[in-house]
Amino acid sequence: MKFSGPVTKAQLPDGALLQEFVDRGEYTDCFAIMVGNNVTFPEYVESFYTTSLFKAERLVLKWLISRPSTDEEARQVSRNETHAFAAWKEHGRSDNQLVMMDFRQQTCSWFMLVPQEKGNRLYFGSAVMRNQQTSRGRKMKWTYRSLLGLHRLYSRALLHVAARRLGATV
Instruction: Enumerate the domain spans of the chain.
Output: 8-169
pLDDT band at 73 (very low <50, low <70, confident <90, very high): very high
Residue 136, judged by CB atoms within 10 A of its CB (0-12, 13-18, 19+), counts as exposed
Q: Which CATH architecture has domain 8-169?
A: 2-Layer Sandwich (3.30)
pLDDT band at 164 (very low <50, low <70, confident <90, very high): very high
Specify the higher pLDDT residue, 169 or 33. Answer: 33
pLDDT band at 70 (very low <50, low <70, confident <90, very high): very high
Q: 114-144: per-residue pLDDT in tens?
A: 999 888 999 999 999 866 656 666 677 777 7
**Rounded CA gap, 79 and 43, in Å?**
8
pLDDT at 66 over 90: no
**Rounded CA gap, 8 and 64, in Å?**
31
pLDDT at 160 over 60: yes
pLDDT at 69 over 60: yes
pLDDT at 113 over 80: yes
- DSSP string computed for 76-137: HHHTTS-SEETTEEEEEEETTEEEEEETTSSEEEEEEEEEETTEEEEEEEEEE--EEEETTE
